[in-house]
Amino acid sequence: MEHHMCHLKELSRDILADIFVRTDGSTLASAACACCELHDVARDQSLWRQLCQATWPSTALEEAQHVISSSPIGGFDKFYAYSYPLILHAKGTKPMPFKCPELKTHVSPSELASLVDVYYRKECVLSKVLDGIPEAMNFSHAKDSEYNWNMNSNDCWRWYSNCPFKLELLSLDYDKFTGFYNELSYANNENDNHCHGLDANDEGRGFPSTSGVDDENLRHDYSMELMESLRLSWVLLDKKNGRSVNLSSWKPLLVQKTWPFHGVYLIHFGSIVAVEESLLPHKLSKCIIIVRCKMTEGEGCPKWMEISMQMEDLTGASVSGSKGLMVLNHALNCLQSSNHLEVEQGFHQYEKKRREMMKKKQFRETLIDSFCVTIEITVLVVFCYYFFSF
């Protein structure tokens, strides 16, 4: 044992740093709690910076360096600690926040930045940084710039805050990726679902799945492969308060082949954020990261068509822009966990709750409908009785 004790002291800081840079943040954190010497090694910010850049290559981009260094986050170790765990939705979690006692009532879009990384087959294939929310800040950034109205920032904000929340990272024309207009096939069999994932029962997306027609034999179904190989991280950074959070579920929640564009897949990632009842009914919001990509045989990597974020409440209704920003603010302060299994269970619970709620709603509506119909028939019968008895 004594012989071993010499070894740690014999290994220089440089060697220990070289060893730890090959691991990950959790390992470095374990080492920091082991003894004083390793704690000193773990205080090295350049080590944490390298770990951040290895985990999220977007942090190595110039815009990211600028955004992170100008925020009061306090170092790359804090950034790693905030961004590594995922948002946890657990039964019995109080919807009120939890780490930060004051929640701002108004979050400005310019105070937020997004660092997004997409991984395919364990390699990072796309990294992008988005400073602020362009749609909310400057109308000329909006996609439909042919409508070149001269909106000032107040009008822009008013427009954004009342429209459904959307944060667009990447969006390309569908025309570039289609060309299959002659090959439209009609979804005859809606039960023949090509959906995979936790949201597999969710039919309300407006994209009926493709049926297994013969020419599909030419096109391989990449749904399972995407489910297993695609990963996404969306780190939201609050530049003003120096906090960050990972809004993604890391693994896809849903992978679906869209129709009528063959070879185009719709993938969802996201998180469940608990909010106050005054903000949203049912106190829950789902942050959905939508990825649309095209898979072609022979090409190793998906072609990205769209990466954006939307929000909805428990009923499936879209959340407005201003409320969406409040939800993001809650997300920055909510419960997190590095245990991915727990996070997945949270999603299952949410979906279960949602289905129960939809069932109740449907039952209530059916009941009301039946009641109304009964009243109408009764009124009609009584009316006819009196009418014909005279």
Partner 1 sequence: MSNTSENPKPSSSSAKMTLKTSDNELFEVEEAVAMKFCTVKQYFEDEKDSDVAARGSTTVIPLPNVHSAVLATLISYGKKLPQSNAVADNHEEEETKKKERKKYEQGLLKNLMPGELLDLISAANYLDFKEGLEFFNQALADHIQNKSVEYVRKFFGIKNDYEPHEEEKYREEYAWAFEGVDED
DSSP string computed for 181-245: GGG------TTS---EETTTT--TTS-PPPP--GGGGGS---HHHHHHHEEEEEEEEETTTTEEE
Q: Among 4-12, 53-61, 113-121, 380-388, which window interacts with partner 1 (CB under 8 A)?
A: 4-12
Q: Is 38 in the site for partner 1 (CB under 8 A)?
A: yes
Partners of 200 in beta bridges: none
Rounded Cα–Cα distance for residues 157 and 16 (Å) = 50
DSSP string, 300-338: SSPEEEEEEEEEEETTSPBPBHHHHHHHHHHHTTS-EES
Q: How many residues bind partner 1 (CB under 8 A)?
A: 40
Distance CA 251, CA 25 (A): 19
Which string of x and - marks every residue 291-330 that binds partner 1 (by CB under 8 A)?
----------------------------------------
Alpha-carbon span 127 to 115, nearest angstrom? 8
DSSP 3-state percent helix, strand, coil across the chain (nearest 5): 40, 20, 35
Q: Which of 46, 70, 339, 362 binds partner 1 (CB under 8 A)?
A: 339
In whole angstroms, give the CA distance from residue 311 to residue 273. 10
Q: Does 30 bind partner 1 (CB under 8 A)?
A: yes
90 forms part of the interface with partner 1 (CB under 8 A): no
Nearer to partner 1, 83 or 256 (CB): 83
Is residue 338 near partner 1 by the rule CB under 8 A? yes
The answer to whether 335 contacts partner 1 (rule: CB under 8 A) is no
Phi then psi for residue 367, to 5 deg, are: -60, -45
* CA 240 to the chain's CA centroid: 22
- Assess 106 for contact with partner 1 (CB under 8 A): no
| Interface with partner 1 (CB under 8 A), residue from 54, 60, 61, 81 | 81
The correct pick among 29, 100, 124, 151 for binding partner 1 (CB under 8 A) is: 29
Q: Which residue has the tokens 């090509």?
A: 194
Least distance between partner 1 and beta carbon 75 (Å): 12
Among 3, 91, 106, 122, binds partner 1 (CB under 8 A): 3
CB of 30 to partner 1, least distance (A): 5
**3-state SS assignment for residue 54:** helix
Q: Does 85 bind partner 1 (CB under 8 A)?
A: yes
296 Cβ neighbours under 8 A, 6+ residues apart: 263, 303
122 binds partner 1 (CB under 8 A): no
CB of 145 to partner 1, least distance (A): 42
Q: Is 79 in the site for partner 1 (CB under 8 A)?
A: no
What is the Cα Rg of the chain in Å? 26
15 binds partner 1 (CB under 8 A): yes
Decide: is 11 part of the binding site for partner 1 (CB under 8 A). yes
Specify the stretch interacting with partner 1 by CB under 8 A; choose among 25-33, 54-62, 245-253, 281-289. 25-33
- Residue 88 vs 326, nearer CB to partner 1: 88
Asked if residue 100 binds partner 1 (CB under 8 A), the reply is no
| Interface with partner 1, residue 46, by CB under 8 A | no
Residues that bind partner 1 (CB under 8 A): 1, 3-5, 7-8, 10-12, 15, 18-20, 22-27, 29-39, 81, 84-85, 336-342
